[in-house]
């Protein structure tokens, strides 16, 4: 299914292969304008994709040229909490891999546990804890051309890409992303537990996409937008509207950061040639 979806994207975008895929988090769709304009494809028209019901997400992918790199920008994603199975959640990742992408840039909106971080800050993901209870690698042996069933995750979030991002912005902090199924926000007790086991950021996406991307041989860069202090640390109750509003408020800055990272990535690729 992913291979057929990649063929349809090639037909619709007029580009046989892409190099990088970017997934935008909740409320980040406006950041796509800063990355660049290009050909848009409605994802429900592509095999295996389904509309998203999550606020702040659009079921659209855009093909953009950045410094000679072909970039697929997904303006939204689907989530486990919408009732989808894990293979549906990671279908866009596998499609991007089949489309030729060797780098996956996964962004998200996240609650944060470290009070020294500022609301609206972009935070590099250094590692993750998958607490969703599922894995996209569950099932029979992967087909030929994909990674092994027991895929190494030691360097899931590429040190090279994190260093590259810090060349763009040396002030970028980094932390551990703790991924839950949702859709309810965490309780204060759960946040205390997450802090004890090493989590700095908490959200309801990304972890399974990162596993699928690494399994497909892609380098992974993760960037969280700190949209709210986590439960028990925040002054009041949490809301989805607050998360989306924080994403929209930071969209221009986030988009500029992502484009600068892509430009640096293109320059690195040029030097390698």
Locate the domains of the chain by residue range: 2-272
Could you tell me the CATH superfamily of domain 2-272? Nucleoside phosphorylase domain (3.40.50.1580)
Give CA torsion, residues 247, 64, 172, 197, to 10 deg.
70
Q: CA-to-CA distance for 171 and 178, rounded, in angstroms?
A: 22
Query: In the prediction, which pLDDT does 27 show?
Result: 67
- Say what the pTM is: 0.94
The distance from CA 166 to its chain's CA centroid, rounded to whole angstroms, is 18
pLDDT at 267: 87
The predicted structure's pLDDT at residue 271: 61
pLDDT of residue 33: 87
Rounded-to-integer distance, Cα 174 and Cα 171, Å: 10
Q: Per-residue b/e over 153-179, b at no fewer than 16 CB within 10 Å?
A: eeebbbeebbebbeebeeebbbbbbbb
Query: For every one of its 273 residues, what pLDDT tens digit does the chain have, with 9 covering 90 and above?
Result: 899 999 999 999 999 999 999 999 766 667 888 999 899 999 889 999 987 776 666 788 999 999 999 999 999 889 999 999 999 999 999 999 999 999 999 999 899 999 999 988 999 999 999 999 999 999 998 888 888 999 999 999 999 999 999 999 999 999 999 999 999 999 999 999 999 999 999 999 999 999 999 999 999 999 999 988 998 887 778 777 877 787 778 788 889 999 999 999 998 776 665
Question: Token pair of 52, please?
Answer: 């998203």
> Taking the mean position of all CA atoms in its chain, how far away is CA 52?
15
User: Are 186 and 204 within 8 A, CB to CB?
Assistant: no
- Report the pLDDT value the prediction gives residue 243, as an integer from 0 to 100: 77
């Amino acid at each position: 299914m992913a291979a057929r979806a990649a063929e349809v994207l090639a037909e619709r975008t007029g580009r046989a292969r892409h190099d990088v895929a970017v997934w935008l988090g909740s409320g980040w769709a406006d950041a796509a304008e800063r990355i660049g304009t290009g050909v848009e494809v409605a994802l429900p028209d592509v095999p295996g994709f389904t509309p998203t019901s999550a606020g702040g997400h659009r079921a659209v992918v855009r093909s953009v040229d950045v410094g000679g790199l072909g970039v697929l920008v997904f303006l939204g994603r689907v989530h486990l909490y919408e009732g989808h199975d894990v293979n549906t959640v990671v279908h866009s990742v596998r499609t991007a891999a089949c489309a030729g992408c060797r780098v996956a840039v996964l962004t998200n909106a996240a609650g944060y546990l470290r009070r020294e971080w500022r609301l609206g800050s972009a935070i590099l993901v250094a590692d993750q804890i998958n607490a969703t209870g599922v894995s996209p690698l569950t099932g029979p042996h992967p087909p030929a051309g994909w990674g092994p069933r027991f895929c190494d995750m030691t360097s899931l979030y590429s040190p090279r890409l994190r260093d590259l991002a810090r060349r763009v912005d040396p002030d970028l902090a980094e932390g551990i992303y703790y991924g839950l199924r949702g859709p309810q926000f965490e309780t204060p007790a759960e946040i205390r537990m997450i802090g004890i086991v090493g989590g700095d950021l908490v959200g309801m996406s990304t972890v399974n996409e990162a596993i699928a991307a690494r399994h497909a041989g892609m380098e992974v860069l993760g960037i969280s937008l700190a949209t709210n202090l986590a439960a028990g640390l925040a002054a009041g109750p949490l809301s989805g509207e607050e998360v989306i509003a924080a994403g929209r408020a930071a969209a221009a800055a986030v988009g500029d950061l992502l484009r600068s990272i892509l430009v640096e990535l293109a320059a690195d690729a040029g030097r390698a040639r």
